[in-house]
Amino acid sequence: MDELTSSRRRLLAGAVAGGIGVVAGCLGTDSDDPSDDGGAELGLSLSRVDGSLRDRYVRDSDDPAEEWDEAALNAALAGEEYTTQYRKPFFAGVDDPAYVRRDGTHYRLGSVVVDEVAETYPVLRLFEVDGDSDPNSTDGGGESAVDADEGEKLPDADQRAVQIAHFAARARGNVGGYPVGLVQRGGYAYRDGTARTESALLRDDGPERVVYRDNTYRVEVERERFHEAVYRPTAEPVAERPERMEAILRARLVGPRIGSDELSAEADRILRRAATDEYAETYPYSDAYVELLRALDARPYIDGNVRKDGGGVETGEEMIRHDEEYYERYLRILDEGDD
């Protein structure tokens, strides 16, 4: 506890400038009242990662991820010229690469921006029709609304477009949001040429209204200009041996490494308990819990007011290694009413 005591002394020394609120912060409470003896309840849970990191993060070139552009993968591995537009070919970047194995060599996949293009796409937006959710009712032009919940009424591309535009329509005027990666400019952009050709909603004589999830929406389509990046896929060899690939992933993804022989018996018991069920204590924490939190490099939870000073630390998530096993570590402050 000497290190914790020293930490408290440093914080108390700083309280001359910051006032008594600093003292409350070092206690880990959510109150500026120094008479408040209540402390934060901190929960720890561990989720075991089955197998090696290679099993989880490295794909075989004969079994690429569904979202990959397979032609881009082949071109990058062969050193051939190839580009993709708008979407990264492997949904990977410098800080979040993808990995693939071919003929015993492990490659780090990514992309670089090599150009920009401008394209015009139709954008579908939906607007609620107040007080009218009857799919058989008509608009001023006499058109009946198409029921998008019935699969045979619209092409597949239109059904997806309605679903995504519905998210934006539902969010208008409400607190909350919608999936930004899908919704664009308040609706759905028809980027795929086949989808545009087959669409019923984009035709000049297309339906003026659609019904989706018991809501009737007015259909609005506008053609808008988009500026898109052009990507060249990259594939860099990084490892021949599986052990080296594992080390690369471990260096990138794994934080603290903890051996059972490095912990006291009680701290090790808490760690193993957290691997089967969430473990929690209320501040001031036991010596064993503080020891484990330090081993997990979770010092913000014991050396400061995590509610006020820790930013996003309350949902702390990290991968750790305990002995020879990997775990995803979750730390959270338990408020009243949490299970």
Q: Is the per-residue pLDDT at 142 higher than 70?
A: no
Residue type, 215: N
* Confidence (pLDDT) at 143: 56
Band (pLDDT 50/70/90 cuts) for residue 115 is very high
Residue 44: pLDDT over 90:
yes
| Residues contacting residue 15 through CB under 8 Å, at least 6 positions apart | 22, 23
β-pair type (209-212, 146-147):
parallel
pLDDT at 10: 36
Q: What integer pLDDT is reported at residue 226 of this predicted model?
A: 96
pLDDT at 4 over 70: no
Non-local (6+) Cβ contacts of 58 within 8 A are 99, 100, 101, 106, 245, 249
Q: Is 59 exposed, middle or buried (0-12, 13-18, 19+ CB in 10 A)?
A: middle
Quick one: tokens of 192?
A: 């795929």
Segments of 240-316 assigned E as strands = 254-258, 279-282
pLDDT in the model for residue 104: 92
Whole-number pLDDT of residue 111:
92
Average pLDDT estimate for 182-191: 92
Give CA angle at 83 (78, 85), nearest 5°: 150
Instruction: Note the pLDDT tens digit of each residue in 200-240.
Output: 999 999 999 999 988 899 999 999 999 999 999 999 999 99
Q: What is the DSSP letter of 285?
A: P
DSSP 71-133: HHHHHHHHT----EESS-TTS--SSS-EEEEETTEEEEEEEEEEEEEEEEEEEEEEEE-TT--
Q: What is the mean pLDDT of residues 1-21?
A: 35
Which of the four pLDDT bands, split at 50, 70 and 90, describes residue 15?
very low
User: How high does pLDDT run on average in the chain?
Assistant: 81
Give the pLDDT band (50/70/90) at residue 333: confident
Q: What integer pLDDT is reported at residue 290 of this predicted model?
A: 95
Distance CA 212, CA 129 (A): 12
| pLDDT tens, residue by residue, 284-321 | 899 999 999 999 998 888 876 655 654 444 445 789 99
CA 312 to chain centre: 14
Q: Over 80: is that where the pLDDT of 144 sits? A: no
* Per-residue pLDDT reduced to its tens digit, 253-267: 999 999 989 999 999
* pLDDT at residue 179, as a whole number: 74
Residue indicated by tokens 């959710």: 133
Local confidence band at 175 (pLDDT 50, 70, 90 cut-offs):
low
- For CA atoms 167, 170, 172, 174, give the dihedral sign: negative
Task: Give the pTM.
Answer: 0.71
* DSSP track, 159-220: HHHHHHHHHHHHHTTSSS---TTT-BTTBEE---HHHHHH-STTSTT--SEEEETTEEEEEE
Name the more confident of 91 and 326. 326
Contacts of 247 (CB under 8 A, 6+ apart): none
If one compares 328 and 39, the residue with the highest pLDDT of the two is 328
pLDDT (tens digit per residue) in 48-76: 999 999 999 999 887 877 778 889 999 99
319-325 average pLDDT score: 93
The phi and psi torsions of 324 (rounded to 5 degrees) equal -110, 10
